[in-house]
Amino acid sequence: MSRHILSAIQNIGHRAIESIWRLGHASRFFVLVLLKSGTSLRRFNLVIRELYFTGVLSLIIIVVSGLFVGMVLGLQGYETLQKYGSESAVGTLVALSLVRELGPVVAALLFASRAGSAITAEIGLMKATEQLAAMGMMAVDPVARVVAPRFWAGVISMPFLAAIFSVMGVYGGYLVTVVFIGVDEGTYWSQMQSAVDFRFDILNGFIKSCFFGVAVTAIAVFEGYDAPPTAEGVSGATTRTVVTSSLVILGLDFILTAFMFRGVS
């Protein structure tokens, strides 16, 4: 019995040490990517190519999701607000929910599933098929040539995608409340305009999406580069990217919100 308990404790300790070791390894890799970003900045066409794959190809899912989230927000917001005779505030509700929270967070979650998983799978497969080793043998550093451009493309794409998500959401809300339900158009826009603050709402939302962009892409490139070079290894790494990124996004969102909106009414 005592041997089982001892082995369970040992197991927990082993897992804890392994997790901390992996976190350290990931941090070192992150610093390495930053140090080797010179090539990406000098040859920006490498980043532009990746911007197409991570940013442009994620547009469809971001646009459609943003539109539907905005429509649902408009519908739910109207239903609740009309009970208190405040349906004119529905524009404010939609805009603030999107710009402060849902825009950056949901866009980042979608970005992790769409682009993050693709980055991990691509880098992992390049490793499994010895393409990264071949690059190293050709005296080309794979971190500088493959990883860094993907990292920067992700970091640049994320705030734009979050902004597009919010804009589509606002139009989704407009479509449901103004066009379908019949809330006054002038009220929808003017209430929104007066309630949304550039510094507290839009800028903070933008800063959040920048943090999420760094977190998701850093996790994606690390998981890909660190993946065991087998089919099973790459599939496991892709799953870990989505799961870890999602948890990190939600955790980071709480911390950032706590710092950003202290004392803001």
Applying CB under 8 A, among 19, 129, 193, 194 the residue interacting with other proteins is 129
Asked whether position 137 contacts other proteins by CB under 8 A, the answer is yes
Asked whether position 1 contacts other proteins by CB under 8 A, the answer is no
3-state secondary structure 164-220: HHHHHHHHHHHHHHHHHHCCCHHHHHHHHHHHCCHHHHHHHHHHHHHHHHHHHHHHH
Applying CB under 8 A, among 101, 141, 184, 253 the residue interacting with other proteins is 141
- Radius of gyration for the alpha carbons in the chain, expressed in angstroms and rounded: 22
What distances in angstroms separate CA 80 from CA 16, 71, 139, 254, one per listed residue? 46, 14, 63, 25
State the nearest-atom distance from the C-beta of 104 to other proteins, in Å. Answer: 30
Q: Which two tokens stand for residue 252?
A: 């980071």
Asked whether position 130 contacts other proteins by CB under 8 A, the answer is yes
Asked whether position 136 contacts other proteins by CB under 8 A, the answer is yes
Asked whether position 258 contacts other proteins by CB under 8 A, the answer is no
- Give burial (CB, 10 Å; 0-12/13-18/19+) of 265: exposed
Asked whether position 42 contacts other proteins by CB under 8 A, the answer is no
What is residue 222's three-state secondary structure?
helix
Closest to other proteins by CB, 25 vs 43, is 43
Angle formed by the axes of helices 117-128 and 204-226, nearest 10°: 20
Closest to other proteins by CB, 72 vs 128, is 128
Contact range with other proteins by CB under 8 A, out of 4-12, 133-141, 166-174, 204-212: 133-141
Contact range with other proteins by CB under 8 A, out of 81-89, 138-146, 211-219, 237-245: 138-146
Q: What are phi and psi of 154, to 5 degrees?
A: -65, -45
Closest to other proteins by CB, 100 vs 145, is 145
Closest to other proteins by CB, 15 vs 49, is 49
Q: Which of residues 99-128 bind other proteins (CB under 8 A)?
A: 125-126
The strand ranges marked E within the chain are none
The C-alpha atoms of residue 164 and residue 153 are separated, in whole angstroms, by 16
Applying CB under 8 A, among 145, 150, 208, 240 the residue interacting with other proteins is 145
Asked whether position 139 contacts other proteins by CB under 8 A, the answer is yes
Name the site residues for other proteins (rule: CB under 8 A): 125-126, 129-131, 133-141, 145
